[in-house]
Structure 1
Amino acid sequence: MTEEEREVPLARPLVLAPMAGGPSTPALAAAVAEAGCLPFLAAGYLPPAQLRQDIDELERRISAPFGVNLFTPDPGGRVGDPVAYRRYRQQVLQVSDAEESLLPREPVWSDDAFAEKLEVALHSTARFISFTFGHPSQEVIKRVHAMGKQVVLYATSRPGIETIAASHADVIGIQGPNAGGHRATVAGADDNSSEPLIPLVQHALAVSKKPIFAGGGVANASDVLALLRAGAAAVQVGTLFLDANEAGTKETHRRALRELTDRTSVVTRAFTGRPARAISNRFTECLSGYAPEMYPQLHFLTSAVRKQANEHGDAENLNLWAGTGFTHVAAEPAARIAESLLPYTPTIADPIARDADARGHRVAVVGAGPRGLAVVERLVSLAATTGNKIDIDWYDDTSFGAGRVWSPYQTTALLMNTVSSQLSAFPDSSTGFGDNYVQGPAFYDWLQTPEADEWLAHDPVLLAERMNVEPNTYTSRALYGAYLTWAAERIIGAAGTNVRVRCISCRVTSLEIEGDARALTTSDGTSRNYDCVVLALGHLPARPTSREHRRLATADGANFLYVPTGDATVQTAAKLASKQNVLLLGLGPTFFDYLELLTTALGGRYVRTDEGLDYEPSGREPNLYVSSRRGVPYHARGVNEKAPEERWEPKFLTLAYAEQLRRQRKTRPVSFGRDVWPAVVREVELAYTLAQSNEHSAGLRPEDIYAALTAGPEAHRRLRKDAGLPTSGFPWENVLEPRISTDDVESIAQFQQRAIVYLERDISEARRGNKRGAFKSALDVLRDIRNEVRQAVQEGTITDWSFREELSSFYTPFNSFVSIGPPLYRVEQLAAAMRAGTVTLLPPDPFLSPDADMRTVTVTGRYFPSEPISVDGVVEARQSRVDASGTADPLLRHLLDSSIAAVHRFDDDRSSSGAVSVSPHDFRVLDPEGVPDDRILLYGVPSEGINWGTAATIRPFVNSVILQDADTIVRRVLSRLANTQTDI
């Protein structure tokens, strides 16, 4: 089984814990699965025939993934201590008044029919088999893998986690000390720890790449969010489902959960001989101090006592298993409980009802980020005018509206690089849609509303952040993601009676052409047909490049850590924190994410003093070395001085100029370097001169500067000279070829000092603002005119050579470097961390040389002084290049492999742009022969090599590209549907 095949198939990051002894039922598991979560059936104490029956019933109800939990027997505890057993038997009789004949006189041992139940689980459709109370043999694990299933092993301590990390298990289950029922301590091992759950999760992340199911004492959504943000792949919950309508919990137990809320829960061996947490009662109070450690002997001893207590409604002698959060238990349907724990995930459409209730044309939207949200909004708004009944199925396995990048479940350490007042999710008057759109507040405006308070009520972390947001605050991505999920609910709720939107929490893995239908298959194995499919895709996972493969292969099995390109995550940062010296390659947005995750997220503090910002290390940080091809970080964003609707209105690179270029291409080739770049340069020069004129009260008018720039560079120089400004104009040489001088550098420390001076100059310029500060206001122009650049360079306007060599190779990375950099505060943090010695900025173009046993890598370079650096971890701290041919996304891979789609190639030499080939003006997917599919449309990052500038978020009142593209796509879809007779 490959790593991709072993990926944990979680539609929603919640796992139903196996609750042996009755609460775990097929009905409960089915309800949780239909809510998009992963249920586990408890096999403990069940006869094999009953387990088979329960699995059969569950398989009839669902096709979604589920797991089975088995008790691993401890042969070493077969005999036990007969004397201690008899003594404890007498104590039980005195406390419980049970009939003596019902209590076994001698210890009883059983392996819980382990081998038989393992066979039942192996021959079921269960995707997971978990083992409690012990670890199975390697032979058992191999058999589980051979049957295409994954192994979950549990730990309650750091040594236990390390044991699983070194094993062939697929998932580490971590049970904290607040968990209800039996703790998953391994029999005979010193694995019982009182260490809190989140530190255990962090330790597991540091020592293993395996996904983590974490649980224990979860009381509410706030607890779930904390564990997910700490890096757990999913949160395991049991106690909160004990009173669910579908649970098989004993009635006496249910009543105790509701009525004994003034009591605490305690860990006791009184009922079974193993540590288990239960609501305190007479039995635990009287016997906890006397129970010997004998499992399952004490389980069989007290079985009759417990049965009698339940029948008589006697809560004082019943094992009232419950975690510390038991006072939050509610008698509700399981699906509602699951939804309350995941506040940013909408109700999942029931698959059976959805298929039976389809009424008209069927449209699938794949991708739940802002692009997918924009398509759904346009469908909701425009379909209302057609009168046709349309069923919209919206697919993704992330948060609807937010997608993966803006997930509200992620750590709040990762920030936006756009201020709160310049973010939105809704169309507005700038789009030209008239009144035909779903109206809603922009992000900052929403944060001021009661709706925001209500939406964030279950999330104290984001609620606290909201209270401190100003218009120019760079918020966490999680907070923006929470807003996007609210916007998704609002847009779905605005659908008229002829439109239905259903959210389906599944990953789409393939798309087939079946006559006039387009069939989607999802990760749960379900296939459905649609009239049209819209692929609204963002950044997709990429397979490692050949160089990354070589470095991964070299590091594999060694103590060295190598991380290929991709997003900075809590999971990766935890592994880096265990290293001593780490090299980060890249100085863009991903690097700044790592900087945060490896400083303040590890306990360090940035402190503002009269001299500036200082960093106080926690001692947990690795030594961070940083370098890149340029050798300098992305430019800091200037302090925002612009209103939400305010942007630079181009004077040279206008839409009229773009249209002129399209006409011009009929008579001569159009290139970016000759026809577009000069207009960009003049826009920057105009903004720069105007800001300098305002700053020095030189009195220059925009029209005067425009006229001088139109006349040529010499006229512009004369104008500046006459106004008393330096004649040189914008310092292009410092921007196009930035450099920290390495001349006469004799040590890395000396280079550091020069680097800090460079950063402080950038910080000073950023503080002057993006309107009053001439330098940053000029750079902000490049961000503001992206729409116009896109209009001027759309495929077919400039030549293929120019698109590839001038736009993609030069302007795109240059534009990112100067206009989408980090907030000012992040660059201040970098300078502070450098002064503190936590971060060392190295000269550009480092050369890596692994040592003989691959435990360290030596870093040198042609610009380096003779002072090599040794590191034990290397991170490609940058986003991977958009290249569809190297995608790891299963859907896009399938489309390319089946020739439904193709990688775009330039006509001049057939080289690839890396984009998925689509019609550039209506987004229809093209096959390898260039034939468009009217029923499959795609936009977003995978088409970036054709449709330049698609990666920007939605801004209010600037006619964002995402909204216009979505409108074009939906109008194309509705036109197609108008000519389609659906009988799918």
Structure 2
Amino acid sequence: MSGTPTLVVIGAGPSGTGLLERIAANAPDVYGDHPLTIHVVDPHPPGGGRVWRHDQSPLLWMNSRAEDVTMFTDDTVRMAGPVRPGPALHTWAADVRSGRAAPPDAARADAGLLDGIGTLADDGFPGRRVQGAYLRWVYERAVAALPERVAVHWHRGSAVRVSGSREGRQRVWLEGRGTPLLTDAVVLAVGHLDAEPDPEHEELSGFARRHGLLHLPPDFTADTDLGAVPAGEPVLVRGFGLAFVDLMVLLTEGRGGRHADGAYLPSGKEPVLYVGSRRGVPYHSKIGYGWQGEKPPLPRFFGPDRTEELLKADGPLDFRRDVWPHIDKELGHAHYHRLFTAHPERTRGDRADFEDRYAAADPAGDELAALVAAAVPDPADRLDLDALDRPLSGVRHPSHDALQKGMRDYITADLTRRHDPAYSQDLAVFLGLLSVHGQLARLGDLGSWWHGFFGFLASGPPGPRLHQLLALSRAGIVRFLGADMTVGTDERRGLFLAGSATVPGPRTAARTLIEARLPDPALERTRSPLLQELYADGALATATGLLAVDPDTGHVLGRDGLPHPRRFALGPYTSARTGAVFTRPRTGGPAFRRNDATARAALTFLRDLA
């Protein structure tokens, strides 16, 4: 080839920014001093991308503490590339306050954002716009760290198509532009994307149109037009995760209400939210204390060796049969290690003997349960993942009013436990979940259940948000529907209906139904023309519709099973999705390993061309 090698990175949010940071770190060793042109394509300003952009409500928070968010590697990350340390979010905010770091231009012009940075506590939950400012700073630092002969150009717009043969240069077509970007390789680093509604949601939307109702399908809550949601009327909400928390905030404080001294003072513009889901409860509160003492050695029963063993198995993996027993044993190991070391008065017998017998037990057999029952007298101190996953299973309330009190008691108990170090085995299980998540990325698409379970236990809302939920319940603004929520329609009356298995009686009727969750990241239903064209061009979709990629390099796989040498992909729509975009410092985050491996693979390909 002739001329300067070129790379196009589609997406300049956290994934694209993290990739650029790894390109800057690896380029001197892998790519040398060759010239390189990098084109970055995104309709939103680089750094924050769509989710963390500056242009959104200041009421919306991250669900992580400032001290638990970093975009920089450390020596706990197992990767081929070099470590390039940098400040976590809370340290960056302190640097801005002290003048050691300059805030991005968008922050300088926004007094509210500057105040959010200036008052951010290490254990505080920052606003999303604050995180966006941090991400913009990380992006600018990554670009500045690139070798002198590497040039970066940002194109504000959306990529709609990638064309080109495996052997030749690729063409990246941008919306509204007649001439494509010519490139030797392309990395798709787009985040969450819009999707066409599934058949059920299509039917519900059609019912709404016929009867003059409102149905809002899965969407990004911050982008949803909530102006049509009526004040003072019942509104059915299906989904009780983080999307619901955003919805709750925007339809209460976002409409002029206030929280004061544990009570909610309504503005009169709020709807009445009737919320339910499969579990019927909100995600668990973030744990409100730090780690003290000896940590469980992780991974122990679900590490790289176990992953390699599973990868070599004959035939496709069944998650519940082949993978889950080892995860259960790993999380149990973390739980009981902490119980024996930090709370020995709640255990019985010799710790070393227990650990030896635990290690030898079949993860799928009955021996583990008998061993735990003998060593941990109180059943409340034993780890029961099935009970944690379905806390309302078998629970019945005689009336809707009884359910409201029962749910407030449940949320209060969860808040109490998650902020009490006497239950620090919960924090050990959280560390176990992070360890497991890092291993699962190599196994490809194992279905959506694990990601939902991980989010429910490990990625819940800040404790203050659940206190606000309790206040809204006491004020009658939020009403709980229970578990195994059902949604139906009444053609005669022209109303949506919702009920649950948790409480008997008539179903709740409403003129508005909101699906409080993100769209599924399936290629068959994506609204992204970029991914639609990629799929039509021969990209492989997994059984659940994700874009298949090589877990070790990020190469896009074709339906012939072969990796495309010039196309790479990162993100939640791929089979190598890592769940959390951001990493807690010193936890060996899988997102870093993924970004590093893809950066090195792309640089190696471009170096060989040069």
TM-score of the alignment, normalized to the shorter chain, above 0.5? yes
Structure 1 position 566 matched with structure 2 position 214: no
* Residue 607 (structure 1) aligns with: 260
SS at match of 2:546: strand
In 1: Cα distance, 2:403 partner to 2:481 partner: 7
Work out whether residues 631 and 843 of structure 1, in 8 Å CA contact, stay in contact via their aligned partners in 2.
Answer: yes
Which residue of structure 1 lines up, in the alignment, with residue 414 of structure 2?
Answer: 762
- For residues 255 and 300 of structure 2, the distance between their equivalents in structure 1, rounded to whole angstroms, comes to 48
Report if the CA contact (8 A) 1:686-1:705 is conserved. no
Q: What is the Cα deviation at residue 881 of structure 1? A: 1.9
Please name the residue that 1:366 is paired with: 10
Of 169, 173, 176, the match for 1:517: 169
Q: Deviations over 1:794-819 (max 9, x none)?
A: 14xxxxxxx6xxx4254332222222
- Does residue 469 of structure 1 match 2:120? yes
Contact 1:648 1:785 in 2 (8 A): no
- Residue equivalent to 1:154: none
8 Å contact kept, 2:451–2:579? no
Contact 2:10 2:190 in 1 (8 A): yes
CA distance in 2, matches of 1:605, 1:680: 43
Deviation string, structure 1 residues 110-148 (Cα, Å, up to 9, x no partner): xxxxxxxxxxxxxxxxxxxxxxxxxxxxxxxxxxxxxxx
Q: Which residue of the other structure, out of 372, 383, 390, is the alignment partner of 2:27?
A: 383
Query: Is 2:235 the partner of 1:589?
Result: no
Identify the match of residue 64 of structure 2 among 418, 429, 438: 418
Partner of 2:569: 938
1:85-234 equivalence runs, <5 A: none
Q: 2: distance between equivalents of 1:834 and 1:900?
A: 50
Q: What amino acid maps onto 1:941 in structure 2?
A: P
Flag the 1:437–1:388 CA change in 2: closer, same or farther, 3 A.
farther
SS in 1 for 2:544: strand
> Any idea what SS the aligned residue of 1:381 has?
helix
**Residue 840 in structure 1 maps to residue 493 in structure 2:** no
Which residue in the other structure is 1:312 paired with?
none
Cα offset for 1:472?
1.9
Measure the CA separation in 2 of the matches of 1:967 and 1:727: 42
Q: Which moved more, 1:888-897 or 1:809-818?
A: 809-818
TM-aligned CA distance change 1:558 to 1:535, over 3 Å: same
Amino acid at match of 2:38: I
> After TM superposition, what 4+ stretches of structure 1 lie above 6 angstroms from structure 2?
645-648, 699-702
**Structure-1 residue corresponding to 2:590:** 961
CA distance in 2, matches of 1:648, 1:398: 41
Aligned to 1:401: 47
Answer whether contact 1:366 1:534 (CA < 8 A) is retained. Answer: yes
Distance (whole Å) between structure 2 residues aligned to residue 703 and residue 472 of structure 1: 36
Task: Return closer, same or farther for 1:669/1:436 CA change in 2, 3 Å cut-off.
Answer: closer
The correspondence of residues 39-54 of structure 1 with structure 2, limited to 5 A, is none
Corresponding position of 2:599: 970
Cα offset for 1:784? 4.0
Task: Give aligned pairs, total.
Answer: 592
Give the residue type in structure 2 aligned to 1:901: A
Residues of 2 paired with 1:955 and 1:779: CA distance? 12
Report if aligned partners of 1:548, 1:564 keep a CA contact under 8 Å in 2: yes
CA–CA separation in structure 1 for the residues paired with 2:268 and 2:401: 21
Q: RMSD of the TM alignment (CA)?
A: 3.0
Asked if the contact 2:372/2:382 (under 8 Å) is kept, the reply is no
Unaligned runs of 5+ in 1: 1-357, 796-802, 905-911
For 1:151, the equivalent position in structure 2 comes to none
Q: 1:869 — aligned with what?
A: 508
C-alpha separation in 2, matches of 1:469 and 1:578: 34
Matched, 1:689 2:333: no
Corresponding residue of 1:656: 305
- Distance change >3 Å, CA 360–CA 737, structure 1 → 2: same
Among 430, 438, 462, the residue aligned to 1:823: 462
* Aligned twin of 1:882: 521
Q: Tell me the SS of whatever aligns to 2:153.
A: strand
Which residue of the partner structure matches residue 539 of structure 1? 192
Q: Taking structure 1 as reference, are residues 913 and 849 closer, same or farther at Cα in structure 2, changes over 3 Å only? A: closer
Q: Secondary structure at the match of 2:482?
A: coil
Q: Within the alignment, does 1:786 sit opposite 2:437 as a pair?
A: yes
Which residue of 273, 282, 293 corresponds with 1:633?
282
Compared CA separation, residues 920 and 752, structure 1 to 2 (3 A): same
The 1:502/1:669 distance shift into structure 2, 3 A limit, reads: closer
1:584 Cα deviation after fit? 0.7
Alpha-carbon deviation of 1:916?
A: 1.2
- CA distance 1:437–1:819, shift in 2 (3 Å): closer
Task: Please say if residues 647 and 958 of structure 1, whose CA atoms lie closer than 8 Å, have aligned partners that are also in contact.
Answer: no
Q: Take 2:266 and 2:301, find their aligned partners in 1: how far apart are those partners?
A: 49
- Counterpart of 1:918, as a letter, is V
Q: What is the rounded CA distance, in whole Å, between the counterparts of 1:459 and 1:647 in structure 2?
A: 44
| Distance (whole Å) between structure 1 residues aligned to residue 8 and residue 197 of structure 2 | 30
Amino acid of the residue matched to residue 638 of structure 1? Answer: I
Task: Tell me how far 1:470 sits from its aligned partner.
Answer: 2.0
What is the CA distance between 1:754 and its match in structure 2?
A: 1.6
Of residues 326, 330, 338 in structure 2, which corresponds to 1:679? 326
1:916 equivalent in structure 2: 547
Q: Which residue of 2 aligns with 1:849?
A: 489
Query: Is structure 2 residue 129 aligned with structure 1 residue 478?
Result: yes
Residue 593 of structure 1, CA deviation = 1.0
Larger radius of gyration: 1
In structure 1, the partner of 2:272 is: 623
SS at match of 1:903: coil
In structure 1, the residue corresponding to 2:237 is in which secondary structure? Answer: strand
CA distance in 1, matches of 2:427, 2:389: 15
Q: What is the letter of the counterpart of residue 440 of structure 1?
A: G
SS in 2 for 1:412: coil
Deviations 1:284-327 (A, max 9, x none): xxxxxxxxxxxxxxxxxxxxxxxxxxxxxxxxxxxxxxxxxxxx
Distance 1:753 1:599, change over 3 A: same
CA distance, structure 2, for counterparts of residue 821 and residue 369 of structure 1: 22
- Following the alignment from structure 2 to structure 1, what is the Cα–Cα distance between the partners of residues 316 and 208? 49
Answer whether contact 1:511 1:894 (CA < 8 A) is retained. yes
Whichever residue aligns with residue 952 of structure 1, its letter is V
Does the Cα contact within 8 Å between 1:519 and 1:527 map onto a contact in 2?
yes
AA matched with 1:411: S
Select 2:540's aligned residue among 893, 902, 914: 902
**Are 1:491 and 2:142 counterparts?**
yes
Q: CA deviation at 1:424?
A: 1.3
Can you give the 5+ residue segments of structure 2 that lack an aligned partner in the other structure? none
Classify the secondary structure of the residue corresponding to 1:649.
coil
The residue number in structure 2 matching 1:68 is: none
Deviations 1:736-770 (A, max 9, x none): 3321765361x31122112222222212211215x
Task: Give the TM-score taking structure 2 as reference length.
Answer: 0.89
Q: CA deviation at 1:543?
A: 1.1
Q: Matched residues, percent identical?
A: 25
Q: Is the 8 A contact 1:652 1:682 kept in 2?
A: yes
What is the aligned partner in structure 1 of residue 403 from structure 2? 751
Offset, 1:564: 0.3
Aligned to 2:38: 392
Work out the CA distance in 2 between the residues paired with 1:740 and 1:757. 16
Residues 408, 478 of structure 1: 8 Å contact kept: yes
TM norm structure 1: 0.56
Q: Which secondary structure state, in structure 2, belongs to the residue aligned with residue 391 of structure 1? A: strand
Q: Does 1:575 align with 2:238?
A: no
**How far off is 1:630 after superposition?**
2.0
Residue type of the alignment partner of 1:414:
L
Aligned pair in 2 of structure 1 residues 646, 524: CA closer, same or farther (>3 Å)?
A: farther
* Whole-angstrom distance in 2 between the partners of 1:950 and 1:815: 9
Deviation at 1:500, TM superposition (A): 0.9
